[in-house]
Amino acid sequence: MLKCNEIANLASDYLDRNLSWKEYFSVKMHLFMCGHCKRFVEHLLSTIRVVQGMERPLATPQETENILNHLSDKNQT
């Protein structure tokens, strides 16, 4: 039987299905009986969804211009 501290370490592998069938089943069993760990895994999943929903940081106009200038310098030489 897995303990809470083990679940806390396996939570990402559980969400990403990176566990063997046996491990996956053991985690599922634990989550069925332990509200704290269930909450931990649910919060971890919500966290991932929140970050995925955020806008990607775009390059600033200056950064983009630097790249394009460097490219045109290279093309001329």
Partner 1 sequence: MPDHRQIHNGIDLTSLRKQDHQAFTDLVEKYHRQMVIVARAIIGDSLAEEVVQEAWVSIYHALPSFEGRSSIKTWIYTIVSNQAKTRLRKESRLVSMNDMEEDIPAYLKAERFHDNGRWSSPPPLWDTESPEDMLENDQLRQCIEKTLELLPTQQKSVFLLRDIEQQSLEEICNILQIANSNVRVLLHRARVKLMQVIDHYQETGQC
- Measured N-to-C along each axis, helices 21-33 and 4-15 cross at an angle, to the nearest 10 degrees, of 120
User: Residue 52: what residue type?
Assistant: Q
25 vs 48, beta carbon nearer partner 1: 48
Instruction: Select 21 or 60, whichever has its Cβ closest to partner 1.
Output: 60
Angle at CA 73, nearest 5°, toward 72 and 77?
A: 115
Q: How many Å apart are CA 35 and CA 33, to the nearest integer?
A: 7
Site size toward partner 1 (CB under 8 A) is 39
Site string for partner 1, 22-61 (x = CB under 8 A): --------------xx-xx-xxx-xxxxxxxxx-xxxx--
Q: Of the candidates 5, 20, 76, 77, which one interacts with partner 1 according to CB under 8 A? A: 5
